[in-house]
């Protein structure tokens, strides 16, 4: 049995409703309204596919019926692992309309991660695309199905479903529509970056998420004339909701999908579709800045270029301003809730040097020292937050909940920030044992556990090392047993354990010991910090 999800305490819920944040809207309901208001306006563009709002709404009705006819019921979970393709929206909104919860996996996830999501959420179905980017998701699904006992259905978008159910068959069902969910219901499960081991599932309600969309649209000035380009994988929270593709649909705007964030794919789309807003991670922004300077495409429709997911350095921010003009916006957010933006009318200094300020006047921020006391204003400290779109607990994670949330409901972000006198936040670092690899999050503990499973590994510690392009990369320190394995063997080992490629250590360093102190009791955290410093010193000495 999965423990019930305790939502916000009723006093908070009442306050958020009274303030007009939570308005009783649902995803299925807003799509219907937009389709009635402007049926012929383009909702989704992907390659040669163009769906109007009426097209999308009709597909969503068909799929809500089809998923119900398959036996799926309100409140049950379905893993959705789709890249940037139009059916992402018909599937996800079809599930929303039926009150079934999508669990958002990334295209990069592999068997270990998907099985974990399936088991943790007790998902009954798994939706994939047949193949993408040279990878066969049907083979992955076959493996997943063997290891995830609750999974009954694999549903395949694309031309060849293989042994599984074609999405096109689900879309054919007639019959009555299932009852709409309540706006206070959990709409879906997003996934956390993971800091203590495996990714956790993040329950977001219609009310809270739609409020974050409305707030983001206001800040980003995204209205029904806007065109949002999905360049990053759209299942991630940033391109989904800040304001992202969901914000665009909430606004009644147009969503354009790019199969990849490469300038070759994106720039022609910006020009052709007159894209007004898009969001990328810093390494992608860096490539775009270079490509934009060499010219060749008319990018003048772009009013907002958002950069988030990892720290943007002031140097790169300046390069972006040089290449694109005053359209840069910094975004510091998290799938658990809180999102901060610099504002379009902020001074350049703010846009270059800060990660902005929260969406909501009711986002409460605490900046605490290591002992849990508030720091003096302007001093860096641990960021904790609660508010009208930040979760109060993870899904089915009693232990992690106790560590990640305070008794009065603040989420411990694991980020070290300072708040400037003007209210803007500056991210200074991280207290959590996570590597932020250009926006892709890797849990040190998760990778250590996989390395420790290797028979020739006696001990392992995984840390971040600075990287010019990605910001950070992963380095695994290994104490090997004799005969020692090679670094490449350990990388292959991690990959073969069925993990997303971005989790494979970039560098492997063999050491004789971890030099624990005389007391012998060094925390994992201190150990990682010491090893990291030792390596940086050694690298510097070599130069
Ligand atoms: C976004 O969401 P997640 O859940 O993948 O990762 C959240 C973490 C934050 O706690 C922070 O450590 C880091 O990613 N982060 C940033 C950052 N934006 C996110 N660190 C420094 N500077 C930034 N601008 O990454 C996410 C979700 C919604 C909007 C934007 C990003």
pLDDT tens column, 482-510:
999 999 999 999 999 999 999 999 999 99
What is the structure's pLDDT at 194? 75
Q: Is 325 exposed, middle or buried (0-12, 13-18, 19+ CB in 10 A)?
A: middle
Percent of the chain with pLDDT over 90: 91
pLDDT digits over 368-384, tens only? 999 999 999 999 999 99
Q: 237 alpha carbon to ligand 1 midpoint, in Å?
A: 9
What mean pLDDT is reported for the chain? 95
- Listed in sequence order, the residues at least 6 apart from 181 whose beta carbon sits closer than 8 Å to its beta carbon are 26, 28, 74, 96, 98, 99, 187, 206
Q: 294 alpha carbon to ligand 1 midpoint, in Å?
A: 30
Cβ of 306 closer than 6 Å to ligand 1, yes or no, is no
Residue 15 has pLDDT above 60, yes or no: yes
Q: 154 alpha carbon to ligand 1 midpoint, in Å?
A: 31
Angle formed at CA 403 by CA 401 and CA 407, multiple of 5 degrees: 75
CA distances from 498 to 79, 113, 233, 434, 492 (A): 17, 8, 20, 19, 10
Q: What is the rounded CA–CA span in Å between residue 459 and residue 453?
A: 10
Instruction: Name the residue with the closest Cα to ligand 1, atom 21.
Output: 311
What is the structure's pLDDT at 188? 98
Q: What is the rounded CA–CA span in Å between residue 221 and residue 138?
A: 40
Confidence bin at 516 (pLDDT 50/70/90): low
What is the structure's pLDDT at 87? 98
Mean local confidence (pLDDT), 146-151: 98
Bridge partners of residue 157, in order along the sequence: 129
Cβ of 413 closer than 6 Å to ligand 1, yes or no, is yes
Q: 189 alpha carbon to ligand 1 midpoint, in Å?
A: 17
Question: Strands 77-81, 304-308: parallel, antiparallel or unpaired by DSSP?
Answer: unpaired
pTM of the predicted structure, to 2 decimals? 0.97
Q: Is 82 helix (H, G, I), strand (E, B) or coil?
A: coil
Mean local confidence (pLDDT), 225-232: 98
Residue 517 has pLDDT above 60, yes or no: no
Q: 443 alpha carbon to ligand 1 midpoint, in Å?
A: 14
Pocket probe for ligand 1: among 109, 243, 283, 308, the residue whose CB has the most ligand atoms within 8 Å is: 308
Mean local confidence (pLDDT), 333-355: 98
**Helix (H), strand (E) counts: the chain:** 18, 27
Q: 320 alpha carbon to ligand 1 midpoint, in Å?
A: 19
Q: Which atom of ligand 1 lies nearest, measured to the CA of 430?
A: 12
Q: Which atom of ligand 1 lies nearest, measured to the CA of 330?
A: 24
Angle formed at CA 336 by CA 372 and CA 390, multiple of 5 degrees: 75
Q: Which ipTM score applies to this complex? A: 1.00
Residue 3 has pLDDT above 60, yes or no: no
What is the structure's pLDDT at 40? 98
Dig out the tokens for 389 from the structure. 């779109």
Instruction: Name the residue with the closest Cα to ligand 1, atom 9.
Output: 334
Q: What is the rounded CA–CA span in Å between residue 499 and residue 155?
A: 22
DSSP 47-112: TTEEEEHHHHHHHHHHHHHHHHHTT--TT-EEEEE--SSTHHHHHHHHHHHHT-EEEE--TT--HH
pLDDT digits over 125-135, tens only? 999 999 999 99
Bridge partners of residue 257, in order along the sequence: 46, 230
Cβ of 138 closer than 6 Å to ligand 1, yes or no, is no
Q: In the chain, what are the helix, strand and coil shares in percent, each to the nearest 5?
A: 35, 25, 40
Cβ of 388 closer than 6 Å to ligand 1, yes or no, is no
Dig out the tokens for 413 from the structure. 């972000």
Q: 36 alpha carbon to ligand 1 midpoint, in Å?
A: 35
Q: What is the rounded CA–CA span in Å between residue 306 and residue 245?
A: 13
Q: Cβ atoms within 10 A of the Cβ of 75, count?
A: 12
Instruction: Name the residue with the closest Cα to ligand 1, atom 8.
Output: 334
Cβ of 355 closer than 6 Å to ligand 1, yes or no, is yes
Q: 379 alpha carbon to ligand 1 midpoint, in Å?
A: 21
Q: 53 alpha carbon to ligand 1 midpoint, in Å?
A: 31
Cβ of 309 closer than 6 Å to ligand 1, yes or no, is yes
Cβ of 187 closer than 6 Å to ligand 1, yes or no, is no
What is the structure's pLDDT at 280? 98
Instruction: Name the residue with the closest Cα to ligand 1, atom 12.
Output: 415
Residue 269 has pLDDT above 70, yes or no: yes
Q: What is the rounded CA–CA span in Å between residue 317 and residue 194?
A: 27
What is the structure's pLDDT at 7? 81
Q: Cβ atoms within 10 A of the Cβ of 481, count?
A: 13
Max Cα distance, the chain (Å): 72
Q: 339 alpha carbon to ligand 1 midpoint, in Å?
A: 8
Of 113, 281, 197, 108, which Cα lies nearest the Cα of 462? 197
- Give the containing element (helix H, strand E) for 57: helix 53-69
Q: 69 alpha carbon to ligand 1 midpoint, in Å?
A: 38
Q: 506 alpha carbon to ligand 1 midpoint, in Å?
A: 21
Instruction: Name the residue with the closest Cα to ligand 1, atom 20.
Output: 310
- Give the containing element (helix H, strand E) for 509: strand 507-510
Q: Which atom of ligand 1 lies nearest, measured to the CA of 335?
A: 4
Instruction: Name the residue with the closest Cα to ligand 1, atom 6.
Output: 334
What is the structure's pLDDT at 520? 58
Q: Which atom of ligand 1 lies nearest, measured to the CA of 439?
A: 25
Q: What is the rounded CA–CA span in Å between residue 384 and residue 354?
A: 18
Residue 237 has pLDDT above 90, yes or no: yes
Q: 55 alpha carbon to ligand 1 midpoint, in Å?
A: 34
Q: 298 alpha carbon to ligand 1 midpoint, in Å?
A: 30
Q: What is the rounded CA–CA span in Å between residue 318 and residue 207?
A: 37
Residue 137 backbone dihedrals phi, psi, to 5 degrees = -75, -20
Judged by average pLDDT, the poorest of 90-94, 193-197, 248-252, 267-271 is 193-197
Mean local confidence (pLDDT), 287-315: 96
Mean local confidence (pLDDT), 83-97: 98
Instruction: Name the residue with the closest Cα to ligand 1, atom 16.
Output: 310
pLDDT digits over 432-478, tens only? 999 999 999 999 999 999 999 999 999 999 999 999 999 999 999 99
Pocket probe for ligand 1: among 333, 335, 427, the residue whose CB has the most ligand atoms within 8 Å is: 333
Cα–chain center distance at 333: 9
pLDDT digits over 71-86, tens only? 999 999 999 999 999 9
Q: What is the rounded CA–CA span in Å between residue 274 and residue 367?
A: 41
CA distances from 437 to 242, 309, 330, 444, 452 (A): 20, 10, 18, 12, 22
Confidence bin at 526 (pLDDT 50/70/90): confident
State the residue for tokens 């495409």. Answer: 297
pLDDT digits over 326-343, tens only? 999 999 999 999 999 999
Confidence bin at 519 (pLDDT 50/70/90): low
Mean local confidence (pLDDT), 103-114: 98
Cβ of 194 closer than 6 Å to ligand 1, yes or no, is no
What is the structure's pLDDT at 349? 98
């Amino acid at each position: 049995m999965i423990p019930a999800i305790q939502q916000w305490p009723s006093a908070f819920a009442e306050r958020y409703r009274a303030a007009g944040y939570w308005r009783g809207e649902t995803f299925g309901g807003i799509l219907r309204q937009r389709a009635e208001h402007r049926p012929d306006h383009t909702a989704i563009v992907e390659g040669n596919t163009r769906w109007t709002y009426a097209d999308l709404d009709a597909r969503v009705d068909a799929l809500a019926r089809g998923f119900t006819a398959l036996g799926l019921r309100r409140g049950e979970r379905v893993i959705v692992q789709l890249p940037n393709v139009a059916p992402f929206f018909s599937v996800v909104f079809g599930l929303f309309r039926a009150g079934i919860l999508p669990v958002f996996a990334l295209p990069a996830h592999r068997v270990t991660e998907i099985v974990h999501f399936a088991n943790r959420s007790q998902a009954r179905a798994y939706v994939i695309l047949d193949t993408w980017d040279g990878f066969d998701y049907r083979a992955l699904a076959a493996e997943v199905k063997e290891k995830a006992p609750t999974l009954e259905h694999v549903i395949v978008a694309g031309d060849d479903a293989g042994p599984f159910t074609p999405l096109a068959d689900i879309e054919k069902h007639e019959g009555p529509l299932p009852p709409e969910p309540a706006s206070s219901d959990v709409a879906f499960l997003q996934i956390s970056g993971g800091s203590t081991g495996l990714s956790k599932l993040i329950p977001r309600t219609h009310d809270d998420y739609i409020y974050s969309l409305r707030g983001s649209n206001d800040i980003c000035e995204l209205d029904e004339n806007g065109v949002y380009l999905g360049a990053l994988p759209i299942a991630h929270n940033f391109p989904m909701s800040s304001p992202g593709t969901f914000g665009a649909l909430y606004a009644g705007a147009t969503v354009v999908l790019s199969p990849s964030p490469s300038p070759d794919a994106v720039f022609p789309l910006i020009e052709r579709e007159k894209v007004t807003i898009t969001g990328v991670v810093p390494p992608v922004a860096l490539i775009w800045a270079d490509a934009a300077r060499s010219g060749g495409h008319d990018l003048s429709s772009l009013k907002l270029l958002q950069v988030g997911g990892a720290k943007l350095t002031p140097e790169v921010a300046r390069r972006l301003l040089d290449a694109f003009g005053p359209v840069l916006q910094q975004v510091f957010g998290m799938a658990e809730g809180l999102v901060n933006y610099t504002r379009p009318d902020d001074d350049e200094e703010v846009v270059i040097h800060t990660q902005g300020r929260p969406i909501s006047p009711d986002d409460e921020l605490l900046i605490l020292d290591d002992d849990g006391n508030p720091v003096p204003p302007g001093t860096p400290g641990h960021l904790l937050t609660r508010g009208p779109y930040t979760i109060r607990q993870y899904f089915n994670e009693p232990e992690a909940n106790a560590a990640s949330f305070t008794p009065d409901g603040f989420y411990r972000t694991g980020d070290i920030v300072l708040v400037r006198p003007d209210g803007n936040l500056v991210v200074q670092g991280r207290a959590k044992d996570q590597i932020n690899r250009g926006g892709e999050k890797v849990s040190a503990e998760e990778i250590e556990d996989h390395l420790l499973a290797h028979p020739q590994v006696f001990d392992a510690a995984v840390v971040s090392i600075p990287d010019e392009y990605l910001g950070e990369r992963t380095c695994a320190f290994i104490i090997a047993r004799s005969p020692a394995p090679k670094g490449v063997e350990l990388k292959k080992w991690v990959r073969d354990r069925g993990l997303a490629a971005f989790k494979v250590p970039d560098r492997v360093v063999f050491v004789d010991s971890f030099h624990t102190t005389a007391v012998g009791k060094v925390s994992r955290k201190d150990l990682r910090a010491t090893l990291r410093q030792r390596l940086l010193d050694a690298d510097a000495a070599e130069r």
